[in-house]
A = this chain, B = another copy of it.
């Protein structure tokens, strides 16, 4: 499969950015490729298009599936698996955030709970206790809040985002009132 210059640029860049996001290049590239592709692709097509090892594609797809970013699709009369991803940016964003929360925030909240519950905790200085409590609260509230945002419909969200500055004022007013 030949990629158009624009698609190729996009895929390469996404791969690059992936590494900065803690995602390996191939995983990010595959996702970008599926995102740009009109139809679901087989692992072999992906392999050939990206010029990476077949096994690499296999593992990367596995990872993408575990993050729920990619789904298997079947084509009549073809026993091979075909892979596709959502074309809805908001949908994708939600999945990514959910995954990151699970991997990066939840373990931290877990630790905070343990710290607070530990018998050592009471022995700590007031400052230490306070700092820990504050931090935990902050993270907890923040995740709660993001959960709520993520629950919004794509259309609502886009409208919301486009409201822009108004939001801040709206919120500021409400927060004071």
Query: What is A's interface to B at a CB cutoff of 8 Å?
Result: 4-7, 9-10, 13, 17, 20-22, 35-36, 38, 87, 89-90, 93, 103-104, 107-108, 111, 114-115, 118, 120-121, 123-125, 127-128, 131-132, 134-135, 138, 141-142, 144-145, 148-149, 151-152, 156, 158-168, 170-172, 174-176
Tell me the minimal C-beta distance from A37 to chain B in angstroms.
10
Secondary structure call for the A interface: helix
Is the Cβ of A174 less than 8 Å from the Cβ of B170?
Answer: yes
Most chain B Cβ neighbours within 10 Å, of A118, A125, A171: A171
Closest 8 CB pairs of A and B: A159-B175, A89-B138, A141-B161, A5-B120, A13-B111, A22-B22, A148-B168, A160-B171
Shortest distance in angstroms between A112's beta carbon and chain B's nearest beta carbon?
A: 9
Look across to chain B and name the residue whose beta carbon is closest to the beta carbon of A21. Answer: B104
- Please give, as numbers and ranges, the residues of chain B lying within 8 Å of A134 by CB-CB distance: 89
A-B contact pairs, 6 of them (CB 8 A): A6-B121, A17-B107, A17-B108, A152-B172, A159-B176, A160-B175
CB nearest to A8 among chain B residues: B120
